[in-house]
Amino acid sequence: SFSLFSHAFSMPNIVVIGAGIAGISSALAIQHKFPTAKVTIISDLFSPNVTSDLAAGFWWPYLCNFHDANLLNRICRDTFEYISRLVSVEDAGAMWQSGHVVSKEDEEIPEWSTLVKGFRKLTKEQLRELGEEYKSGNFFTTLGLEPTKYIAYATRQFLSNGGCIRQKKIKNLNELTDEFDVIINCSGIGAKELMGDAEMKPIRGQIIRAHAPRVKHFFCDGDYYCLLNSNFVVLGGTHDEGEWDTTVNEETAKKILEENVKKMPELKGATILSHHVGLRPFRSSLRIEKETIKSVKGKEVTVVHNYGHGGSGITLFWGCALHVAELLEKERAHL
């Protein structure tokens, strides 16, 4: 049977399914770890038409579960540190931004508070200024990463490292087992169909992009949010579990705008640029693990799954990509 890295002087032929932020980053991390490996990305959709493109690009752990808390914390930290390094890269889409996250519940200080800059709990007086309904809240400086800009940057890096890209919809992993020795599955919401994964479900998110130069801070209260990009703000949002409809609902759009203007008067007079709907790829637990499958001809193929990031794709993408590369390196070490 074939083993990954079985030949002393050859590297495996690796394919990544999916060209969103998880797919392109996994491919890049593998190239960093194994510079001589041949890496191909296969996807039916590419930026700016993938789910990642609709993300506000805000580093903040949200709608993500994982059984290994230590690994999840490391993944969050690795991603935060990576984005912070990208701030100095002009066209990578990374930036620092400050603002408020408030809640109608009494919430504990999150574990990630030591990662962000200047984290502080809001006083009762400060909360009251933001809204009588809030019981707890924090002010901090975190990172933003505009997904479309980053994916373009990462794709240039991937191609300059010798990577290949193909457009095709993969319906079964067996389509790839003859040509490739390793499959990295970053199919996002598509994993429901591709893997028959009943745990995958969409969480529909509707947003508005607006030109609002007077807005200088982000604001999020669990129901509605205003997040910063370099040329626009992203107003949200909805959290419709199990909803596949990607058409824009006009009533929802009106409500999103009204509620955000109530919280942030600086939004008055903002120019609406566009409306969008995306499907967050939610799973009861992030799936980042390795398995071995056999081709029809009996060849053993390593599969590493990396999907189910929920609403935390920007918070997890690079740490997950590094973990994918680590899982491959461990396999080589055990031979």
Residues annotated within the binding site are 51-52, 225, 280, 310-315
Q: Is the backbone of residue 219 left (phi > 0), alpha (psi -120 to 50) or beta?
A: beta
Considering only CA atoms, which of 259, 27, 260, 281 is closest in space to residue 156?
27
Q: How far, in Å, CA of 76 to CA of 42, rounded?
A: 26
CA–CA dist 14, 227 (Å, integer):
36
Question: What residues form the annotated binding site for D-dopa?
Answer: 225, 280, 311
Q: Residues comprising the binding site for FAD?
A: 51-52, 310-315
User: How many Å apart are CA 302 and CA 304, to the nearest integer?
Assistant: 7
Q: Which of 285, 326, 291 is nearest to 309 (CA)?
A: 285
Exposure on the CB side of residue 231, measured as CA atoms within 13 A: 6
Contact 34, 11 (CB under 8 A): yes
Decide if 35 contacts 186 (C-beta within 8 A). no
Query: Which H/E stretch holds residue 323?
Result: helix 313-333
Q: Kindly report the number of other CB atoms within 10 A of residue 219's CB atom.
A: 22
